[in-house]
A and B are shown apart, each in its own frame.
Chain A
């Protein structure tokens, strides 16, 4: 498995995907280590995808107990109390994920991720964060960026019928073939903190409204000291007030962030399974691209809204 060539078993199992990305890419995947924080439905989908793809290892972090929400949107959690009693969400998911591909090492890490030192993150090639406050997102991103090693950093958030992915690949070099030539490409990604600090006025006019709406909700949760997703329709007045302030500060019209959209995000605190599948799929592809070095990675936000059905990429960075 960690030798130079793919084993017979790997070749047979991965045949169809090797035909997509090649044997080299498959080898690189098999040596990679992924850290995943926050086992929501979307993240469960993502984990399923990368385990099937044949990464080297997946480390799960989520000390919460199995709850109603997990039972309803996370297909890795089987509704058998005997199976999940006394176990954390990460442990239950770990058990299920192992079944999908015995060649992938799936394990659990316990504890408060914000206390993990920089050397903890060094073990990984990609880090995926969900169910996270603004502060934590920034903190973990900084730790990953501090390391000389290249670590791909992603955040993912699904609320109701909407989903957002953020990508930070630092300085990312890769090559691709165009016709007969090999082209060397280089992309520079801003950190999460820098990206969202981009003044709204400076952004292109047609930037997705979902971007702004998510930032308002994110800041609201931060100011109110809420956990990620801990909102309801009762918060609408507070959110609208915050929107007004933010738009004024940024010299942007409030119509950029429709009421209806904010309402949907506030009330849609539980995930919508089709959106989990879509976001988990896109995220899976992105991580596979970054690890294998094959394919243009997206830069740097991806949004999906089931209402208009568009899945689009926004490049948000400080000018």
Chain B
């Protein structure tokens, strides 16, 4: 199949792989078999047991070791003479700068998060190196090709940000199981086992805030020599009983909603647990501490009753205090921390019970709390094959044949693998087309700090920003800054826009840059007085920022991780991750295919696939063209 020209182009090529996980293992293997001889691979992760069902270059004995290094060693076994350079590092590190990227003929991404993808996208643009992007989730996958100036960059198409929920939904009016998980994980777990100095919205806002906050300061504090079960019941009764009663006292809230019911431990578990279970603690290493075995709740797929959940709650709390005391105060939730998962599952379920929301198994809860992406080997293998095919075209500069390919679960017009021509760059893309953005903000109230955190780092994905107004620098991050400058920047952060040295008001243009990404963007400031607390919680709205439309059937590129849509067969379709808060659709200009195509023959873009839903619910209609029509404004 391969012509001489192709064989030598492959031999000479220097390829960078970012990611040595699910896609990475398959990709490295296929590249090596296809004749590539100089491959560099970056991955910051170490190997875990749950990787082994698909990351076939790794063995049980490798758990804990660097993915990049072990992948390299495994592939060298069947291709000993090629060069594979592993980097056990974060691709965002400063050494992976534009000069580093410039060395490569093509960059191949096998990442699982949006942040890193955007970062690599910008570096590839800055270095003018072709990028082949990809992603998989379950049976779905896609491969896209990005060449500066010729095709869309990775950010030309809107990528929905991870789903967030309004604070009051979490603290007061949950209606879905995921709200209970977020409450259990980010509020209760954090309050009990995390950094005590962190702000925490655990206590319900009510007209009586004065009293309840005083009350709570005592409630969560473990008193010396207190009986641990008594402590546990005290917490239980406070969050599931007292707090609910306080919430109920606010009639307005429940006018159009089902009222929750308070739950007290004495009603659910009248008998003291230690009396019942005696002293039969399993003596195990910290890492193996687990409630489930102890309580004979073996199957993680079972849904526990309210009583069982309550038992797990109290027992988990007890085990944290008796076996893992030193961890308390600096824990963050980790999906691989079995005891934490048990606690969060139990807490979420009790809350769900209170609010009339269906309970879930540990298996399901873990998936939601841990943002676990379901994954199989076959999809990764298919995608890897497709990546290599595109990579070879890139090396041959086969400009008219690049394709984006979608791997579907259900065929669309007989196609399981659907190739589509890439689109021209989006002229309104603020990343590759340098389009200015605008920011609506209350210049008297919002501080520079909010702008830096929420907009520049958050929405724009810059890591080391420089913010300028004309020639003067308002803020920057760097290693060799002079002390007095650092002080000025620190002071600036705390000032409202209008109070900054040269006063940022309506009409001012700010320039924000990330020197490492070699990415610059200008932002026009527009003053606005009022912002909707629920829909615009940041108090700032970025426009010209191509946000995904607010639509139930919205589609999401595959494999961006951070997905909370781990819908399993029993999960109702209530995990709607596609709701965007307040985004407005801006489809500016018409998308044109790379090759010259008549307007009338223009194909619609196939829907990026919704990852949600159990296998058999038809998310993609067979007629994807009409779906595409529907989602365009």
Question: Roughly how many angstroms separate A54 CA and B49 CA in the complex, as a whole number?
Answer: 14
In this complex, the member of B54, B377, B417, B569 whose beta carbon has the largest number of chain A beta carbons within 10 angstroms is: B377
**B residues 266-315 touching A (CB-CB < 8 Å):** 298-301
Question: Roughly how many angstroms separate A282 CA and B52 CA in the complex, as a whole number?
Answer: 20
Q: With A16-B50, A178-B618, A273-B30 in contact, is A23–B301 under 8 Å at CB?
A: yes
A48 to B33, Cβ gap below 8 A?
no
Please name all residues of chain A whose beta carbon is closer than 8 Å to the beta carbon of B418 when the two chains form the complex.
310-311
Q: With A281-B385, A304-B417, A309-B405 in contact, is A5–B299 under 8 Å at CB?
A: yes
- Sorted from nearest, which 5 A-B pairs have the closest CB atoms? A311-B417, A309-B419, A277-B385, A19-B374, A281-B382
B419 to A288, Cβ gap below 8 A?
no
Q: Is B330 an interface residue (CB 8 A)?
A: no
A52 to B53, Cβ gap below 8 A?
yes
Q: With A178-B617, A179-B617 in contact, is A13–B50 under 8 Å at CB?
A: yes
Please name all residues of chain A whose beta carbon is closer than 8 Å to the beta carbon of B375 when the two chains form the complex.
16-17, 19-20
Q: With A45-B381, A52-B54, A309-B403 in contact, is A73–B33 under 8 Å at CB?
A: yes
**A residues 288-316 touching B (CB-CB < 8 Å):** 288, 294-296, 298, 302, 304, 306, 308-314
Closest chain A CB from B609 CB (angstroms): 14
Q: With A48-B377, A277-B30, A277-B382 in contact, is A16–B53 under 8 Å at CB?
A: yes
Please name all residues of chain B whose beta carbon is closer than 8 Å to the beta carbon of A298 when the two chains form the complex.
411, 416
Question: Roughly how many angstroms separate A176 CA and B409 CA in the complex, as a whole number?
Answer: 14
Q: Is B415 an interface residue (CB 8 A)?
A: yes
**B residues 57-75 touching A (CB-CB < 8 Å):** 59-60
Q: Is A155 an interface residue (CB 8 A)?
A: no
Question: Roughly how many angstroms separate A278 CA and B379 CA in the complex, as a whole number?
Answer: 9
Q: With A16-B376, A79-B78, A275-B385 in contact, is A22–B1 under 8 Å at CB?
A: no
Q: Is B351 an interface residue (CB 8 A)?
A: no
8 Å CB contact of A17 from B298, B374, B569, B618: B374
Closest chain B CB from A13 CB (angstroms): 6
Question: Roughly how many angstroms separate A243 CA and B411 CA in the complex, as a whole number?
Answer: 31
Please name all residues of chain A whose beta carbon is closer than 8 Å to the beta carbon of B298 when the two chains form the complex.
5
Q: With CB as the reference atom, state the residue of chain A lying closest to B388.
A: A274
Please name all residues of chain B whose beta carbon is closer than 8 Å to the beta carbon of A18 when the two chains form the complex.
363
In this complex, the member of A177, A277, A294 whose beta carbon has the largest number of chain B beta carbons within 10 angstroms is: A277
B607-627 vs A, CB cutoff 8 Å, 1 = contact: the mask equals 000000011111000000000
B417 to A310, Cβ gap below 8 A?
yes
In this complex, the member of B1, B139, B375, B409 whose beta carbon has the largest number of chain A beta carbons within 10 angstroms is: B1
Question: Roughly how many angstroms separate A178 CA and B618 CA in the complex, as a whole number?
Answer: 8
Q: Is B439 an interface residue (CB 8 A)?
A: no
A104-144 vs B, CB cutoff 8 Å, 1 = contact: the mask equals 00000000000000000000000000000000000000000
Q: Is B328 an interface residue (CB 8 A)?
A: no
Q: With CB as the reference atom, state the residue of chain B lying closest to A175.
A: B616
B381 to A280, Cβ gap below 8 A?
yes
Closest chain B CB from A315 CB (angstroms): 8
B417 to A309, Cβ gap below 8 A?
yes
**23 A-B contacts (beta carbon < 8 Å):** A16-B50, A16-B53, A17-B376, A19-B372, A20-B138, A52-B54, A52-B56, A75-B32, A79-B79, A101-B52, A273-B34, A273-B385, A276-B385, A281-B379, A285-B139, A285-B378, A285-B379, A294-B615, A295-B615, A309-B386, A309-B417, A309-B419, A312-B415
